[in-house]
Amino acid sequence: MLILAGLGNPGPKYERNRHNIGFLCVDEMASRWRFGPWRTKFQSEVCEGNIQTPAGEVRALLMKPQTYMNESGRAISAAAKFYKTPLDQVVVFHDEMDLAPGRFRMKTGGGAAGHNGLRSIIGQMGPNFRRARMGVGHPGDKDMVLGWVLSDFNKVDGPWVETLCRACADAAPLLAATEDEKYQTEVMRLAPSPKADPRKAGLIEGAKPTN
């Protein structure tokens, strides 16, 4: 079973937060690939379906952990243990402040880089899962990071957020085939990132860009 987990916080209060872009992405995947209905399992909202690849269909589980971000690892590790899924078949979609808004990068392994959701997963499963890093930019001041990720996207962000999530879903056959480099390239072809400096575009009011 391929596990595609989006990170976020549960409830309408957080629905459009930058921290919840992972939830938005797996919602789009569920719609694009017509996965089964969402249900509750593994302390998460989950749904199952198939992604068509050149080598045939790949069975996949979409996950939105309902544990809050800091405990995401408990939910994802429970699903991986149940399905006996190896780490190279676990993909985590998450917000990434070190990438400009709309940028996208795949990565396997590494540290948490201050991301509490990743820290929780690493603590439960080790670091060698696949990460789909969805750029949300940086507020320009480390003291404003928490407010940044727990704030809603600005209205002007809507088009690129939707386009990026749609691209991640449309290119999913490459992801399911473990072609991460090709997947990254295709996502960025389908969703070119906005031409803006993440430390200057859409800053939280009062934040000061750093050099």
User: Which residues participate in catalysis according to the annotation?
Assistant: 19
Q: How many domains is the chain partitioned into structurally? A: 1
pLDDT digits (tens, 9 = 90+) for 78-126: 999 999 999 999 999 999 999 999 999 999 999 999 999 999 999 999 9
Q: Band the pLDDT of 196: cuts 50, 70, 90.
A: low
Residue 40 and residue 150: Cα distance in Å, rounded? 24
What's the domain range around 93?
Answer: 2-190
Any idea what the CATH number is for the domain that residue 89 is in?
A: 3.40.50.1470
Tally Cβ neighbours within 10 Å of residue 181: 9
CA angle, residues 195, 198, 199, in degrees to nearest 5:
135
Average pLDDT over residues 172-182: 98
